[in-house]
Amino acid sequence: MSTESKTDSRSPARPFWLRGDFAPVADEVTAHELPVEGELPRELAGTYMRNGPNPKDGFSPHWWFGDGMVHGIHLAGGKARWYRNRYVRTARFTGAEAGSERERRLRGGGTSNTHVIEHAGRILSMVEASLPMQLDRELSTVGAFDFGGAVDTPMTAHPKRCPLTGELHFFGYQVVRPYLTYYIADARGRVISKREIEVDGASYLHDFAITERYAVFFDSPARMIRDWGAGIPFEWNDSHQTRIGVVPRAGGKVRWFDVESGQLCHTANAFERAGTIVLEAVRSARFEAAPPYLHRWEVDLESGRTRERQLDDRLVEFPRIDDRRVGRPHRYTYVLEMLDFVDGAPTKSLLRRYEAETGTSLAQELGPGQIPGECVFVPKSAQSPEDSGWLLSFVRDRERDISELVVLDAGHFGAAPVARVRLPQRVPFGIHGSWVPAVDEAHRSWAAR
């Protein structure tokens, strides 16, 4: 179990990312046959994985810079078979740093702490400053992964898988040319397209979106002025016009559309509708200096006109949808609503669902002292409707000082959880995660498409 000092981790003198719900845990733990309250759906066969910063020495100068730790819980046959948490063993973590500064950083020399996905049978831990780190299915680190040498820039932590083709779309941005590179890997993990997108310099580009025919980028005034390594490498430039870039997936001219000054945080989705690209994402007025709100942009490809509006006045982040709707119109968006900020961090959070057709939203209350993180949607089958599935989230119970995996029925959002899995240690508030189906189930799901 963790040997963290509760006194130190809760001290108000420490920054928010080192105390309270964010405080790192010290130990890597393995536990089997976890206790379950309620009934786990037998259809849930796979592993929920979630990445996040967890500095091994208990300190980092910024939340973004802590060592990556992936937490995983494997479900099968209506049981929680195991829990593991493992550090992502980058060169910095192991002390094996070597080579030039850029080569060292690119090949996993720093941290890998933002997201974790599966593609073409590989588990990839990601951070936007370098290449992914490959993990095995028990979360042990294999090493840096460069798609057989085809990727020679950093890779975003937010790739998008096209549900129609199985392709993985991703990009890399950096302070030197090429400033922005757009990649496509096929369903077997081979890079089939690599394209430089001409921009006059790199901006903070944490996320992007795809539609059935386009990739959608956001060029903001948060300009990259130096490489990663010595603090946050971005500086806000009010004179730089905020733009949305529309890039044909099959090749062709890139078009840029001016929009109101602001910063894109995380995208929910984008899709095409009657000659217009609709982008739904979380936006703030400035980089790291303004609250985030759910926002929608509409880009008329024929007239060039853009329309923008804030969808709600609640502070939200980490939007997720049913991934089978990526690039196509979606009905539901699930977000983390953040409340009662103190010293830069929320003291309360809850899950909220927005419905696109009605413009309404619904809160998921989990009870006093219950602090959920980002949720992930898992469909009941490849053919099931958009609300037929489950939502998974790591939740901290402050009153009992424990963490649980909470399973919600997406078709009855707002109702009590169908199951809670007690975890053997606290899981710090982290960033992004994925559901990785069991190998045989993943094969059947793809073959059914």
Per residue in 381-404, pLDDT tens? 999 999 999 999 999 999 999 999
- Quick check: 211 pLDDT over 70? yes
Residue 60 located in a structural domain: no
Residue 95 located in a structural domain: no
Q: What is the mean pLDDT of residues 320-343?
A: 94
Q: What is the mean pLDDT of residues 136-152?
A: 96
Per-residue pLDDT, 210 = 98
| 116: phi then psi, degrees, rounded to nearest 5 | -145, 130
Per-residue pLDDT, 230 = 77
Q: What is the mean pLDDT of residues 40-69?
A: 96
Tell me the C-alpha distance between 188 and 146, whole Å: 14
Q: In what order do the strands lie in the sheet with 68-76?
A: 30-32, 79-87, 68-76, 46-53, 433-437
pTM: 0.94
Per-residue pLDDT, 11 = 53
Per-residue pLDDT, 226 = 94
Other C-beta atoms lying within 10 Å of the C-beta of residue 342: 10
Tell me the C-alpha distance between 320 and 344, whole Å: 23
Q: In Å, how far are 76, 372, 405 from 369, measured between CA atoms?
A: 29, 10, 15
Chain length of the chain: 449
Per-residue pLDDT, 102 = 67
- Quick check: 6 pLDDT over 60? no
- Quick check: 365 pLDDT over 60? yes
The residue behind tokens 């926002």 is 295
Structure token digits, residue 215: 């990739």
Q: Is the dihedral of CA 320, 322, 323, 326 positive or negative?
A: negative
Q: What is the mean pLDDT of residues 98-109?
A: 70
- Quick check: 43 pLDDT over 70? yes
Per-residue pLDDT, 252 = 95
Confidence label for 98 from pLDDT (cuts 50, 70 and 90): low
3-state secondary structure (DSSP) of residue 290: coil
pLDDT tens figures, 213-222? 999 999 999 9
Per-residue pLDDT, 445 = 43
Other C-beta atoms lying within 10 Å of the C-beta of residue 308: 15
Q: How many domains does the chain have?
A: 1
Q: What beta strand segments (E) does 157-201 contain?
A: 160-161, 168-173, 180-185, 191-196
- Quick check: 273 pLDDT over 80? yes
Per-residue pLDDT, 448 = 36
Structure token digits, residue 411: 């078709």
Residue 395 located in a structural domain: no
Nearest to residue 311, comparing CAs of 348, 374, 353?
Answer: 353
The residue behind tokens 């804030």 is 310
Residues spanned by the domain of 163: 159-313
Nearest to residue 310, comparing CAs of 271, 283, 273, 338?
Answer: 283
3-state secondary structure (DSSP) of residue 22: helix
Per-residue pLDDT, 92 = 87
Per-residue pLDDT, 14 = 86
- Quick check: 3 pLDDT over 50? no
Per-residue pLDDT, 121 = 96
Residue-averaged pLDDT of the chain:
92
Residue 223 located in a structural domain: yes
Other C-beta atoms lying within 10 Å of the C-beta of residue 34: 20
Per-residue pLDDT, 48 = 98
The residue behind tokens 């009605």 is 358
Residue 243 located in a structural domain: yes
Q: What is the mean pLDDT of residues 154-180?
A: 97
Per-residue pLDDT, 111 = 93
- Quick check: 305 pLDDT over 50? yes
Contact assessment for residue 1 and residue 426, using Cβ atoms and an 8 Å cutoff: no
Residue 109 located in a structural domain: no
Residue 273 located in a structural domain: yes
| 441: phi then psi, degrees, rounded to nearest 5 | -70, -40
Nearest to residue 431, comparing CAs of 35, 177, 69, 187?
Answer: 69
Confidence label for 95 from pLDDT (cuts 50, 70 and 90): confident
Of all residues in the chain, what percent carry a pLDDT higher than 90?
Answer: 86
